């Protein structure tokens, strides 16, 4: 199936590694002009080198509202439009809730909720003016079902799910589709503590009906579909990709 992504312009945040890098590279392979945003310039350049000349980079700190505010205008300045936004950047501070400094939750909300809202608002203005666009928010299964020791993260990702649904309802009449993907356990750098420990890995996999963790590339087809013109009637959806874990009783 052709996604129709050739020569579309897509912004991907948190694109220096993991799921963001996999999505950025795959979208470029589909012919999109990808703008990859993250804090790590060196890692971004490594991703761009795999993009067949179709990935450009922006250094941006999602915890800094001034930095976030500059991203969409830069995309427009480079390409004259923005067709897709994948809000992927996020942080997941872990710890016992009773012991956590409230600033830790504020940081999680800043990166995981405020930054995606600001980017969606800025991109949405242009999408509405140009007659349409697609926004994909990357949440988490912890935003669908809470997880102990990840209270701030679970709360922030739950907010992303509700934001997705509300924006989808508000912008559907403007031909702007807004959807959400909630990944489960993927083999990324963020999961190194799990993947590098035989005991932790075995315990993690035991909770997944599919019997394994997923490769980042397994998220790519769904993300490509949702950020493409090929899904014009799909909006407000929350797509869980977790090997059946959250579907268990």
Enumerate the active-site residues: 153
Cα–Cα distances in Å, from 46 out to 21, 24, 26, 41, 202? 9, 12, 14, 9, 31
| Cβ-based burial of 78 (10 A; exposed 0-12, middle 13-18, buried ≥19) | middle
DSSP letters of 51-115? TTT-EEEEE--TT-HHHHHTHHHHHHHHHS---EEEE-------S-GGG--HHHHHHHHIIIIIH
Q: Find where tokens 């310039």 sit.
A: 41
Distances in whole angstroms, Cα of residue 93 to Cα of each of 74, 171, 222: 30, 32, 27
The whole-angstrom separation of Cα 119 and Cα 132 is 16
Q: What angle do CA 12, 77, 116 make, to 5 degrees?
A: 35
Token pair of 184 as six digits:
């489960």
């Amino acid at each position: 199936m052709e996604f129709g992504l050739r020569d579309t312009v897509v912004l991907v945040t948190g694109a220096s590694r993991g799921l963001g890098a996999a999505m950025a590279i795959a979208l470029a392979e589909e012919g999109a002009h990808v703008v990859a945003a993250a804090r790590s310039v060196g890692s971004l350049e490594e991703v761009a080198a795999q993009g067949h000349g179709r990935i450009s980079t922006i250094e941006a700190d999602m915890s800094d509202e001034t930095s976030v505010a500059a991203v969409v205008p830069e995309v427009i300045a480079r390409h004259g439009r923005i067709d897709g936004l994948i809000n992927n950047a996020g942080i997941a501070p872990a710890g016992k809730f009773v012991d956590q400094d409230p600033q830790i939750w504020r940081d999680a909300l800043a990166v995981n909720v405020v930054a995606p809202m600001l980017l969606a608002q800025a991109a949405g203005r242009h999408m509405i003016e140009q007659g349409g666009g697609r926004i994909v928010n990357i949440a988490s299964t912890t935003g669908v079902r809470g997880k102990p020791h990840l209270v701030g993260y679970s709360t922030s990702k739950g907010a992303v799910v509700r934001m997705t649904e509300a924006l989808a309802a508000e912008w559907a009449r403007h031909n702007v589709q807004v959807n959400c993907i909630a990944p489960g356990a993927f083999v990324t750098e963020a999961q190194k503590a799990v993947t590098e420990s035989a005991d932790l890995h075995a315990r993690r996999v035991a909770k997944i009906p599919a019997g394994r963790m997923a490769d980042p590339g397994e998220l790519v087809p769904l993300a490509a579909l949702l950020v493409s013109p090929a899904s014009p009637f799909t909006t407000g959806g929350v797509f869980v990709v977790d090997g059946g874990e959250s579907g268990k009783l």
